[in-house]
Structure 1
Amino acid sequence: MRLDGQMQSQQQQDALLPRPRGALPRVCATLLVAGATGGLRFLSPQELLGWVALVTLMLTLGPLLHGLCLLPEEVLHHRHTRYRGRGLLGHVAPACGLCSGTLRAAGLAALLLYLAGDPLAKHGDTWKLLVLTAVFYTLLKSLVVLVPSEVEVSDLCEARKTNVAHGLAWSFYLGYLKLVLPHLDGSIEWFRSSHLTNGACWSHRSRRLFILVPLDASISHKLEDEDDNIRFYGNLPNHEMDRAGVRGRVYKHSVYTVLDQNGKGHECVVEYATPLLTLYRMSQESSSGFGEAERRQQVLLFYRTLQDILELSLECRNRYTLILLNDDRTDDPHFLSNAILRHLQQQEKEEFCLGPPAHQQTVCPARCGVGRPPGAPPVRGNWHNNPEPMSREPTLMISLEKPQPLKQPVENTDDYYGGK
Structure 2
Amino acid sequence: MIFYYSNVGNPVVQVWQHGPAVGFFGLAAAFFLSCMLNMNENKLTDDESIQEVEGIDYGRGMAYSYYYGYLRFVLPSDGINNPGIRSKIEMYEASENVTIPVKKLFILIPESGYIPPDLSEASNYRLEGAKSLQSEIRDRAGTKRRDYKNTVYKIHPNNYEPGHRPVYIVVEGATPMLTLYEILQHNHEQTATYRRNKKQIVASFYETLAKLVSDPSCRNVVELVYYQDDDDTGNRINVAEMLLDRIRQQALQSF
Q: TM-score, normalised by structure 1?
A: 0.46
Larger radius of gyration: 1
- From the superposition, tell whether residues 221 and 135 of structure 1 become closer, same or farther in structure 2 (CA, over 3 Å): same
- TM superposition shift of 1:167: 1.6
The equivalent residue for 2:218 is 316
RCO greater where, 1 or 2, for CA within 8 Å and sep 6 or more?
2
Match of 1:176 among 60, 70, 73: 70
- From the superposition, tell whether residues 281 and 127 of structure 1 become closer, same or farther in structure 2 (CA, over 3 Å): farther
- From the superposition, tell whether residues 124 and 340 of structure 1 become closer, same or farther in structure 2 (CA, over 3 Å): same
Match of 1:305 among 198, 208, 227: 208
In 2, the alpha carbon distance for the partners of 1:282 and 1:187 equals 34
The equivalent residue for 1:212 is 108
Q: Percent identity?
A: 28
Match of 1:194 among 86, 91, 95: 95
In 2, the alpha carbon distance for the partners of 1:264 and 1:333 equals 25
- From the superposition, tell whether residues 305 and 154 of structure 1 become closer, same or farther in structure 2 (CA, over 3 Å): farther
In 2, the alpha carbon distance for the partners of 1:288 and 1:124 equals 47
The equivalent residue for 1:24 is none
What amino acid maps onto 2:188 in structure 1? S
Contact between 1:140 and 1:146, CA under 8 Å: does it hold in 2? no
CA RMSD of aligned residues (A): 3.4
Contact between 2:133 and 2:149, CA under 8 Å: does it hold in 1? yes
In 2, the alpha carbon distance for the partners of 1:126 and 1:301 equals 54
In 2, the alpha carbon distance for the partners of 1:339 and 1:157 equals 32
Q: How many residues align?
A: 222
- From the superposition, tell whether residues 140 and 178 of structure 1 become closer, same or farther in structure 2 (CA, over 3 Å): same
| Matched position secondary structure for 2:218 | coil
Contact between 2:152 and 2:170, CA under 8 Å: does it hold in 1? yes
| Matched position secondary structure for 1:315 | coil
What amino acid maps onto 2:223 in structure 1? T
Per-residue CA deviation, residues 243-263 of structure 1 (Å, 9 max, x unaligned), is 222222111110001123585
> Whose strand fraction is larger, Structure 1's or Structure 2's?
2
Contact between 1:141 and 1:147, CA under 8 Å: does it hold in 2? no
**2:188 is the alignment partner of 1:287:** yes
- TM superposition shift of 1:242: 2.0
In 1, the alpha carbon distance for the partners of 2:176 and 2:114 equals 11
User: What does 1:19-418 correspond to in 2, within 5 Å?
Assistant: 124-125=11-12, 135-136=32-33, 138-139=35-36, 142=39, 146-147=43-44, 152-153=48-49, 156=52, 163-182=57-76, 183-196=84-97, 200-203=98-101, 206-227=102-123, 228-261=125-158, 263-291=164-192, 292-311=195-214, 313-329=215-231, 331-332=234-235, 335-348=238-251
In 2, the alpha carbon distance for the partners of 1:302 and 1:363 equals 32
- From the superposition, tell whether residues 157 and 283 of structure 1 become closer, same or farther in structure 2 (CA, over 3 Å): closer
| Matched position secondary structure for 2:191 | coil
- TM superposition shift of 1:282: 2.0
- From the superposition, tell whether residues 334 and 327 of structure 1 become closer, same or farther in structure 2 (CA, over 3 Å): closer
In 1, the alpha carbon distance for the partners of 2:37 and 2:182 equals 36
What amino acid maps onto 2:181 in structure 1? Y
What amino acid maps onto 1:175 in structure 2? G
- TM superposition shift of 1:309: 1.3
| Unaligned runs of at least 5 residues, structure 2 | 1-7, 16-27, 77-83
| Matched position secondary structure for 1:219 | coil
| Unaligned runs of at least 5 residues, structure 1 | 1-57, 59-119, 350-361, 365-420
In 2, the alpha carbon distance for the partners of 1:334 and 1:136 equals 58
